A and B are shown apart, each in its own frame.
Chain A
């Protein structure tokens, strides 16, 4: 497998780099903390909300344990569901556990994740190693993950498909000056199995229908190979504030190319208040087997009309505020903090049309647009 060979080469280079550049400098385990969050997403006729809990605690000097529990409750009907089905409600639960082991200037991590819905179950395990070197100015990291998904379809007990996911990540974090730190990350994903959404359909021209088109099940390839490269830069400004600039390029074997750029500004107002603002721009091209309206049934061996595979862009504006609460008398070491974040996202689809507009000819419906608001409110305890 080509990606496997890449990982072998990268591992050897990493080993060489460590051998030549090591300077004794201990790595540090993440800080102990607990987070309790409420999250909500509203947009495109869909509401998703629920709680999330994250806990991280050291066990001795060399081990840090982490756990994460997250619930999505989905209700409503997206434009896809409105076209071919009725509104629905469902729940997804996600659980993660992890262990980080500190050995000198390296941290070895093992993580397990599981996600359960009534029609989709996913399990994954990942192994990572991060190594601090060059006087603590450089961190090199390597991660490999394996996922095993089971795909079902509500109302069809006989439907059962599987999906295997493999991913490899390589990271290089570098201190460049006393105010500038940068990170370069590369990730390769290999997916094999059932990659369709079992509920979605493609539409094709059919003059026998009054609306001018009919639907048939979409057909995806069984493999998808992806690569993403990201560059993150974080700067400390002349006054106490930070700016980060993130750039990412993505492309895959379905011919989708995407690029996103994000700028975030963090500004402490006082010992208690920290404000943050961000802006992100994302743009992607379409998959080579995507079309909004096919000319006839079974026109191609692979056919998709998922708006996630269409050509579109989106822009996100985000604001946030954190407030450090007074220390509790009974537990003076713990620092409690409240944070509220709000993101507003606008999606502009370039070749995905809104078929819920019924007074337009097939293929001439207005292009679909979507606005979404995302809220995260969470309580953090650092201890």
Chain B
């Protein structure tokens, strides 16, 4: 659970940086007071949670089908962790990061009440390296509950960054926070790379 939480915390920072500034106006547009903002943000986060639970279920069943052998269960995820972790580190380097948030597509949604839900779907299905890593983790868990717990921890870690969104305008030194967030994403990638290498070597030795 620890590494899923950390992955969520570190990837959430970079997600906020690319998507947050797009989502914020849509979340706030037409809002009337704190209650409306809270409802919109809650709908957005709830939608993300539902999508993540669906992904957790799919990942676990997929993993059960593919990773039946204990050695395969260590070696294949080990390789996947390394590949996706390298992608995460690469992603954290600003020129490689796609500056366009997929949430921009929300412009096509006319009904404002559906916007938070639509944003939640688009944001959670934005296939970034962090999501690939958590999908790999979900696929390798022993039970479905453990897969849900991993995705829940990832959700909590990534959602914390969205909570202060309504106050975004008041935060000074945004550039510094953005830089630190991106660097933390890269570090999370390195952590998973090491985890992947350790799993891989352990799997090879035990196999």
Q: Do these two chains really belong together in a complex?
A: no
Residues of A in contact with B (beta carbons under 8 Å apart) = none
